[in-house]
């Protein structure tokens, strides 16, 4: 109890003013949070706690607990990401376990005698949430032409479409008129899948100044075997690998104003970093909100991200996406005529009822972040100094403090260390997918949180990174950085080999 209080009594963050990026950002708030205001004394204390690191000879205070009091014990098993927040009250443990059961539940196509589980499809990518987020970790691309079930799919869109009123700089796109918003490679009995994703790789050698050779793999993506008809000629493809699930509730609990305080769209400070906020129209709240979740920050809350996955990935209806045919378009007449699992008087007239969506949201919100290890290892401390020396912390912002919340003790008043600003950054042509999403250009991606990255191989049985898993280790991931991160990437290449190893050791300690 004393340890828990040491976090909750200390932590609070000033209500910082919104970044003056555009009038469209001014309505941004936190309707998903029931937050309490902070006092001036709290603001002063927390400003001190959030001060940048200056002494790299020892760990910072509270650094061992990246999720604050919600941090969980680090284990050496594949279940390291599947623990509930350490500060979950007893009544929350049952909701977490029920949500876990629904997360792991395998859905089946309608019609079925099992009314509690039917409604899958008609087109879909996975039968269960865990099919993409196995062990709550990250997915990876196929390892061969027959390896299709590896938690990766293609987003689809074509130019055009309406821009939401009141959101500036919206890069309008719309789903493919035949295939919708994503390519679904599985289908209910009697239907042919929409098609297949094909990946080919070419070698891209990179030589360090010291002579070390690293061969990157450059992917090329294609949509093959279209079932309903030819996709639009200007179709844009964006590959997506499922990200890890830990710490989502803590990211959701960061006040929007504190994230926007790091935005610098015009690079006013001249450091070459110009993070921009993604702004999305909330399906649940009906107002523009800060995007936080997804590889281009396309969802503002965990509930909306979960409902979108139920609909797009599995073809299951929820209160936020009530169409039981999921991503099927009007042109896909066989899909629109397919059987669904939605009936009046059963499960709120939905395939995933209100309670089930809330339980999956609770589960996703409360997956704990494992404690860090080797914080005082000399190599880790040297690697941390190198990380800051290369200015990596400008995008991978180390720490925030969550809002003071009513009814959510797990996320309330926590000093957290996600190493992300949750903003959009131009990552250069090498990583560009060429597909705008909302306000994100085809070159922009949301900064990925780094917490737990050192446990990827333990949890997911691989060490593949970036939005499409092209990087086979952390060194390759760094070498793919361009655009706003070009200077940091070039600085990493210029480091002596031992210093590069130290920086990777620091990342693996997170």
Contact 499, 382 (CB under 8 A): yes
Which is it for the CA torsion 306, 223, 185, 326, positive or negative?
positive
CA distances from 155 to 223, 235, 313, 314, 471 (A): 11, 10, 11, 14, 20
Tokens read off for 193: 């899948």
Position 148 scores a pLDDT of: 53
- Of the candidates 428, 441, 443, the residue with the CA atom closest to the CA atom of residue 169: 441
Entry pTM: 0.93
| SS3 state at 218 | strand
Position 344 scores a pLDDT of: 81
Tokens read off for 226: 């279209």
Backbone angles phi, psi at 306, to 5 degrees: -65, -45
- The pairing of strands 400-401 and 35-36 is unpaired
d(CA 68, CA 58): 19
Q: What is the pLDDT along the chain (510 residues), one digit of tens a residue?
A: 333 333 333 333 333 333 344 444 554 789 999 999 988 988 888 899 999 988 999 999 999 999 999 999 999 999 999 999 999 999 999 999 999 999 999 999 998 877 788 999 999 999 999 999 999 999 999 876 666 556 899 999 999 988 888 888 999 899 999 999 999 999 999 999 999 999 999 999 999 999 999 999 999 999 999 999 999 999 999 999 999 999 999 999 999 999 999 999 999 999 999 999 999 999 999 999 999 999 999 999 999 999 999 999 999 999 999 999 999 999 999 999 999 998 887 889 999 999 999 999 999 999 999 999 999 999 999 999 999 999 999 999 999 999 999 999 999 999 999 999 999 999 999 999 999 999 999 999 999 999 999 999 999 999 999 999 999 999 999 999 999 999 999 999 999 999 999 999 999 999
Position 24 scores a pLDDT of: 46
- Of the candidates 95, 92, 126, the residue with the CA atom closest to the CA atom of residue 108: 126
Peptide linkage before 295 cis (omega within 30 of 0): no
| SS3 state at 213 | strand
């Amino acid at each position: 109890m004393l340890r828990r209080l040491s976090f909750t009594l200390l932590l609070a963050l000033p209500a910082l003013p919104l970044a003056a990026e555009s009038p469209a950002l001014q309505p941004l708030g936190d309707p998903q949070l029931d937050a309490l205001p902070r006092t001036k004394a709290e603001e002063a204390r927390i400003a001190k706690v959030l001060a940048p690191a200056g002494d790299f000879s020892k760990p910072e205070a509270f650094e061992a607990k990246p999720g604050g009091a919600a941090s969980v014990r680090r284990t050496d098993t594949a279940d390291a990401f599947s623990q509930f927040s350490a500060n979950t009250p007893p009544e929350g443990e049952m909701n977490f376990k029920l949500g876990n059961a629904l997360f792991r539940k395998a859905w089946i196509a309608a019609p079925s005698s099992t009314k509690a589980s039917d409604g899958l499809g008609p087109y879909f990518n996975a039968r269960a949430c865990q099919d993409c987020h196995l062990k709550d970790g990250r997915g990876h691309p196929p390892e061969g032409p027959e390896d299709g079930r590896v938690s990766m799919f293609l987003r689809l869109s074509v130019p055009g479409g309406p821009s939401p009123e009141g959101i500036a700089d919206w890069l309008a796109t719309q789903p493919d008129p035949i295939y919708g918003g994503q390519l679904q490679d599985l289908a209910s009995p009697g239907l042919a899948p929409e098609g297949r994703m094909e990946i080919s790789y070419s070698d891209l050698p990179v030589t360090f100044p010291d002579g070390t050779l690293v061969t990157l793999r450059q992917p090329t993506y294609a949509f093959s075997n279209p079932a309903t008809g030819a996709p639009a000629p200007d179709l844009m493809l964006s590959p997506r690998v499922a990200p890890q699930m830990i710490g989502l509730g803590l990211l959701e609990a960061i006040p929007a104003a504190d994230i926007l305080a790091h935005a610098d769209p015009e690079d006013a400070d001249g450091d070459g970093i110009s993070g921009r906020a993604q702004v999305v129209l909330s399906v649940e709240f009906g107002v523009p909100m800060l995007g936080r979740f997804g590889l281009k920050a396309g969802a503002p809350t965990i509930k909306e991200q979960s409902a979108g996955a139920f609909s797009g990935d599995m073809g299951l209806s929820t209160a936020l996406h009530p169409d039981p045919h999921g991503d099927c378009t009007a042109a896909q007449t066989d899909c629109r005529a397919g059987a669904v699992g939605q009936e009046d008087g059963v499960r709120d007239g939905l395939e995933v009822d209100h309670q089930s969506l809330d339980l999956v949201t609770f589960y996703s919100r409360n997956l704990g972040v494992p404690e860090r290890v080797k914080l005082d290892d000399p190599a880790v401390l040297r690697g941390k100094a190198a990380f800051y020396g290369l200015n990596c912390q400008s995008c991978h912002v180390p720490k925030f403090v969550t809002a003071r919340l009513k009814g959510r003790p797990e996320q309330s008043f926590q000093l957290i260390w996600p190493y992300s600003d949750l903003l959009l950054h131009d990552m250069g042509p090498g990583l560009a997918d060429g597909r705008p999403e909302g306000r994100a250009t085809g070159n922009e991606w949301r900064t990925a949180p780094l917490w737990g990255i050192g446990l990827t191989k333990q949890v997911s049985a691989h060490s593949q990174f970036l939005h499409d898993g092209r990087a086979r280790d952390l060194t390759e991931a760094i070498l793919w950085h361009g655009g706003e991160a070009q200077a940091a990437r070039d600085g990493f290449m210029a480091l002596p080999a031992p210093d590069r190893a130290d920086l990777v050791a620091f990342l693996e300690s997170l």
